[in-house]
Amino acid sequence: MLQQFLDSLIADGVFGGLPRDIVYLIGMAAAGALVVFGFVLNVAGVTTFVERRVWARIQSRVGPNRVGPQGILQWLADGIKLLMKEEVIPFAADARLFKLAPFIVTIGFIAAFVAMPFSSVLIVADLNLGILYITAMTSLVVVGIMVAGWASNNKWSLIGGIRAAAQIVSYEIPAALSIFTVILVTGTLSMQGIIQQQGWGPWDWFIFHSPFTFVGFFITFISLLAEGNRTPFDLPEAESELVAGFVTEYSGARYLFFFLVEWGNLYVISAILVTLFLGGWQAPPIPVISDSAVGRNVLEFLTFFLKSYFGVVLMMWIRATLPRTRVDQLMTTCWKYLLPIAFFNFMGTALWVLVFPEGFRFAEILLTAVGFGLLGYFAYRVAFHLRRSGAQITLSPLS
């Protein structure tokens, strides 16, 4: 789409006699800057604020509520504070690598947005290797973390970096295997292609496509949590064991980059999950709005954003609930539980696709019913806990 747009601009003579490739480069840079400054930074920033408020509510607190209305600008204040802080580079650190590490991490994270399908046309580049590209790019983060851990010349940082490497490399395997279950069904790696084969209704989503993809969703979710260093797998920066893990020696702007990536990654993780399993931007047709191209795209973007943001909140909520695993348990979970099941799933999906090439409607409906049944039981348990505690109830999210 970007290419067509640039081509039309060149045809209109906007760029004078500049070579086509240079125009493309400028166009790419401009689009990239727009995505990074207009979307990525804001989402990552607001996510820090939302996370603090979500935690606070779970922990019977109020959370940040002073900067701006309801504290919504807290993330800006924090960011400015960190940017203005003095940056300390330890004397014994490998200064060059120490400075480089946050940028490697940031590149790995931002590059993932290139193939992120926000709506049916809103995508920087619909690569035919889409999902593979995103998986590869997000693993670049581990290189940065390793470099940070090594260059800090601090034992806690080093342990954090090594932990991160071991963890992310291990969890790539079950994650990739369960992503392949979806690819077996779709036959394409392109993000748009995957989404186009799903529908707006939950019964058309790939999570409910077969029992195997249903399990595959949870395996992907757990593996991506581990890759994003989130609780219960946040060992690389386990603050009660490793002080702050690989960020122990960082301060100021570089520290900010690490945390930008950490919170931005939440969005990337849930965007991947939404694309693969939860119908992506497929929005229900609403008579008037869906008729115009702009209206449809806005609707699709909102659907995608809300779905992925629900995933982000889910991950915050998990972090507020669960304790951290130990290194050996982390590896046990991966190699003894996730990996065999992912293999089994992979084979099962292959068989399923062989037997039902067009999908099996009855199984889809049944699985959807099971999913909603679980949600219903969950609501019942929540009501039970509320009743037992006899706490005061308030539905307002404001403080």
Partner 1 sequence: MAGVLNTYFRNIFDTAATVFEGMAVTCSHFVRKPTTIQYPDRTDVRVQDTLPYRYRGILEVDLDICTGCLACERACPIDCIVIDAKKDKATRQMMLNRFDIDIAKCMYCGLCSEPCPTGSIHHTPEFEGADYSLESMLRRFVKEPVAAYKPKKVEDDPKILPVLERGMRYLDEFANPDEEEKGAEA
Partner 2 sequence: MSVAGFEVEVDRGSGLETEEMTLNMGPQHPSTHGVLRFVVKADGEVMRRAVPDIGYLHRSIEKISEKVGYHGFMPYTDRVDYVAAMFCNQGWGMVTEKLAGIEVPKRGEYCRVIAAELNRISSHLLAVGTMILDIGAITPFFHAFREREKINDLLEELCGARLTYNYMRVGGVAWDLPPGYEEKVLAFLNQLEPMLDEHYDLVSENTLFRGRAASVATISAETAISYNLVGPNLRASGVRYDVRRDEPYSVYPELEFDVPVGTGMAGEVGDSFDRYYLRVQEIRESVKILRQCFQQIPDGPVVAKVPRKLKPPAGDAQIRVESARGDMSWYAVSDGSEFPYRCKVRTGSFAAMSIIEEISQGLMLADLVTVIASLDIVAPEVDR
Tell me how far CA of residue 76 lies from CA of 34, 48, 71, 308, in angstroms: 18, 10, 10, 22
Query: According to the binding rule CB under 8 A, does residue 318 interact with partner 1?
Result: yes
d(CA 181, CA 167) in angstroms, rounded, equals: 22
Q: How far is the CB of 45 from partner 1 (least distance, A)?
A: 23
Q: Select the span of 12-20, 35-43, 152-160, 355-363 touching partner 2 (CB under 8 A).
A: 152-160
Query: According to the binding rule CB under 8 A, does residue 56 interact with partner 1?
Result: yes
- Of the pair 5, 337, the CB lying nearest partner 1 is at 337
Q: Select the span of 64-72, 151-159, 263-271, 367-375 touching partner 2 (CB under 8 A).
A: 151-159
d(CA 154, CA 160) in angstroms, rounded, equals: 10
Question: Which x/- pattern over 336-365 shows residues binding partner 1 (rule: CB under 8 A)?
Answer: -x----------------------------
Here the contacts of 288-295 (C-beta below 8 Å, separation 24 or greater) are 293/121
Contact 342/350 with Cβ under 8 angstroms?
Answer: no
Query: According to the binding rule CB under 8 A, does residue 396 interact with partner 2?
Result: no
Distance of CA 127 to the CA centre of its chain: 19
What are the tokens at 303? 């659907």
Q: From partner 2, partner 1, none, which one binds at residue 394 (CB under 5 to 8 Å depending on kind)? A: partner 1
Tell me how far CA of residue 77 lies from CA of 8, 68, 156, 188, 392, in angstroms: 41, 10, 29, 44, 32
Query: According to the binding rule CB under 8 A, does residue 326 interact with partner 1?
Result: no
- Binding to partner 1 (CB under 8 A) within 364-383 occurs at 378, 381-383
Q: Select the span of 29-37, 70-78, 110-118, 326-334 touching partner 2 (CB under 8 A).
A: 326-334
Query: According to the binding rule CB under 8 A, does residue 260 interact with partner 2?
Result: no
Residue with tokens 């800090």: 152
d(CA 72, CA 64) in angstroms, rounded, equals: 8
Q: Which of 20, 61, 81, 326 binds partner 1 (CB under 8 A)?
A: 61
Q: Which of 69, 288, 389, 398 binds partner 2 (CB under 8 A)?
A: 389
Q: How far is the CB of 225 from partner 2 (least distance, A)?
A: 13
d(CA 148, CA 332) in angstroms, rounded, equals: 26
Q: Which of 12, 13, 19, 240 binds partner 2 (CB under 8 A)?
A: 240
Q: Which of 9, 59, 88, 292 binds partner 1 (CB under 8 A)?
A: 59
Query: According to the binding rule CB under 8 A, does residue 322 interact with partner 1?
Result: yes
- Of the pair 110, 158, the CB lying nearest partner 2 is at 158
Cβ contacts of residue 335 below 8 Å, gap of 6+?
170
Cβ contacts of residue 386 below 8 Å, gap of 6+?
393
- Binding to partner 1 (CB under 8 A) within 64-103 occurs at 65
- Of the pair 96, 388, the CB lying nearest partner 2 is at 388
Query: According to the binding rule CB under 8 A, does residue 155 interact with partner 2?
Result: yes
d(CA 292, CA 199) in angstroms, rounded, equals: 19
Contact 87/102 with Cβ under 8 angstroms?
Answer: no
- Binding to partner 1 (CB under 8 A) within 237-296 occurs at none
Q: From partner 2, partner 1, none, which one binds at residue 382 (CB under 5 to 8 Å depending on kind)? A: partner 1
What are the tokens at 217? 């969703």
- Binding to partner 2 (CB under 8 A) within 9-48 occurs at none
Tell me how far CA of residue 290 lies from CA of 199, 200, 274, 285, in angstroms: 15, 13, 21, 6
Q: Select the span of 41-49, 70-78, 230-238, 288-296 touching partner 2 (CB under 8 A).
A: 230-238
Tell me how far CA of residue 73 lies from CA of 10, 47, 62, 70, 77, in angstroms: 40, 11, 15, 8, 7
Q: Where do contacts with partner 1 occur on this chain (CB under 8 A)? A: 56-62, 65, 317-318, 320-322, 337, 378, 381-386, 389, 391-395, 399
Q: Footprint of partner 2 on this chain (CB under 8 A)?
A: 55, 58-61, 155-156, 159, 163, 231-232, 234-235, 238-241, 243, 319-329, 385, 388-390
